[in-house]
Structures are given as structure tokens and as C-alpha cells.
A and B are shown apart, each in its own frame.
Chain A
């Protein structure tokens, strides 16, 4: 069965510092990978997705993620965090073997210190 692990429940970074949020997945075939962001009281917004091709994927709001098959990882990065990036971030995995449904990680809450 597919699963997604986000090892960090909370992360705190200073404004202007770099950010990396970890995501590891377990999936038998080629996964489809997503990162979503949820601001307080809001729904989930798609940041970026990986289906195939270049393993470094660019998303909205200056985020990027790198697919590393050997490490079963899809970590989200941002070179310089802004206070408005404070939110909860969810990694998700999907694939054709599972009817294209998504399995979500438990989420990582990002706090930004000024």
C-alpha cells in the first residue's frame, strides 16, 4: 500500500532563512507527487506536482521540490522564507495503480520568526 511520511510535525525558521520540508513515500511503481499548502482556516492550495521528466519541479510562491527515487523522497524547498509562508504543508502521493486517488501525509506546520 502507498503511504506518505512527513517526519517533522512542526518547523520554525527565521524570516529570510532557507526552508526544507521533508517527505518520504512508499509506493511500488512510479509515483505522482504533490505538495499542497493550507493557510489557517483555508482549503488546500496546490503548490507543485511531479509526474515525470525533470526531477526538480518549480511551483508557485517561489517553492521547488526535488524527486529522488533512490531515497523515495520529494522534499520541498524555498531559498528565502517570508512571514506569509507560515502555514501547514501537505505532501501527497498518487498513482495509476490506485485509481489516481491521493494519499496524504500528516502535514508539517511551518512557523516563521521575524
Chain B
């Protein structure tokens, strides 16, 4: 199993450009998540999807949209990138065990917005 995969690994954008970050998991997990990681702030939840066909906002959703394409794939879109969106983006999926989700993370996408 590849686990959680993310593409691309690195990306440089100009302000105002758009892009989609891709995430896929092969663990048959129902829930998927998008986080951003910034120095000194840990990981902050952008959006999540509890199951195929549903998405919900997390802590920092502004400037982002998501699509749960199917059970395996969950994409994150920046419609008009801003320098404040320079960050490392992590996708995760989770399995339910004893009533609690345990999350497993992808390798990350490093995004620089100029």
C-alpha cells in the first residue's frame, strides 16, 4: 500500500494564479483532511470530508475549496493564490477505531506564492 500520496511535492505560484493540490489514499478510509503547516503554529485544519460526497470547513477555510472526487481522492483548490497561502500542505486520511479517528498523513506539498 502506498498510503496517502500527494502531488505535486513542490510548487511556486504567482499571486492570483490558481492551482489544485491532489491527494489520494489506498487504505479504504472514509474520512480525509487537508491541513496547512506554518512555523510555530502546528497544523491547522482547512477542510475535511467525513465521507464520500460530504465536505466541511475546518479552522482556516478562507481562500480554499475542496472536492471529494470519490472515496480515494480529496483535492484542495486555491482559486487566486495569495502570499499568505505560502505553506506546507498535508493531506490525511483516517480510520475509525474505538470511536475515534486515527489520522495518517501524506508527505506534504510545499507551496510558495510570490
Contact = CB atoms under 8 A, between A and B. Distances in A.
B100 A100 contact: yes
A14 to B, nearest CB: 26
Contacts of A68: none
Nearest to A45: B105
Given A9-B40, A101-B48, A101-B58, A94 B100 contact: yes
Contacts of B100: 32, 51, 94-96, 100
A51 B98 CA distance: 8
Contacts of A46: 102-104
B102 A90 contact: no
Interface string A82-104: 00000000100011100111101
A104 B42 contact: yes
Given A9-B40, A52-B98, A107-B42, A102 B103 contact: yes
Contact of B45 (A43, A95, A101): A101
B107 interface: yes
A104 B100 CA distance: 16
A112 interface: no
Interface in B18-41: 31, 33, 40-41
A103 to B, nearest CB: 8
Contacts of A36: 105
Q: Which of B43, B105, B107 has the most CB of A within 10 A?
A: B43
Contacts of B106: 43
Contact of B50 (A52, A99, A102): A99
Given A100-B100, A104-B44, 16 more contacts: A34-B103, A41-B108, A42-B107, A43-B4, A43-B106, A43-B107, A44-B90, A46-B102, A46-B103, A46-B104, A51-B100, A96-B99, A96-B100, A100-B94, A101-B33, A101-B58
